[in-house]
Amino acid sequence: MKRFACGDIIPGCSSVFTASDEDGIFAQAVPHGAARHGIDEVGPELAATVRAHIRDA
């Protein structure tokens, strides 16, 4: 199981996502980023930052 806390890269955000793999994390985090933080595109740098903060749950 994997876990990603949005607040690790966006201070003040309390959203946490869990999934069986990184793809599952991105499937949840990308729509969240668009809806809550106005992030319309996940470029290579942001994707790498998110991956660096995904932990084993």
Q: Give tens-digit pLDDT for 23-52.
A: 999 999 999 999 999 999 999 999 999 999
pLDDT of residue 28: 98
Q: What's the pTM?
A: 0.93
Cα-to-chain-centroid distance, residue 18 = 10
Range list of H helices, the chain: 22-37, 44-53
Q: Are 3 and 17 in contact (CB under 8 A)?
A: yes
Q: Give tens-digit pLDDT for 10-28.
A: 999 999 999 999 999 999 9
Distance from C-alpha of 14 to C-alpha of 12, rounded to nearest angstrom: 6
Tokens of 27: 């499937």
Distance from C-alpha of 13 to C-alpha of 21, rounded to nearest angstrom: 22
